[in-house]
Amino acid sequence: MLEYFRNIIAKRDEDGASAVEYGLLVAGIAALIVAIVFALGNAVGSLFGDSCGTIRSHIESTSC
């Protein structure tokens, strides 16, 4: 009987621990993506705005 309890204790399942580690990894990656979007959001937005304005002014200057 004592050997049975030793086997139960020795066979600990670590699936829950690895799931928590993966969850922390995904949360870290998501936080990094959010930080990058906030850091580069204004620069990318102004770049697209400038491009759109250039295209619009070129179309208006060449239209009949």
- Residue 47: the pLDDT is 81
Domain ranges of the chain: 18-62
3-state secondary structure 7-57: HHHHCCCCHHHHHHHHHHHHHHHHHHHHHHHHHHHHHHHHHHHHHHHHHHH
Q: pTM of the entire structure?
A: 0.50
Tens-digit pLDDT profile for residues 8-63: 676 666 666 688 889 899 999 999 999 998 998 888 888 888 888 888 887 877 76
The predicted structure's pLDDT at residue 11: 65
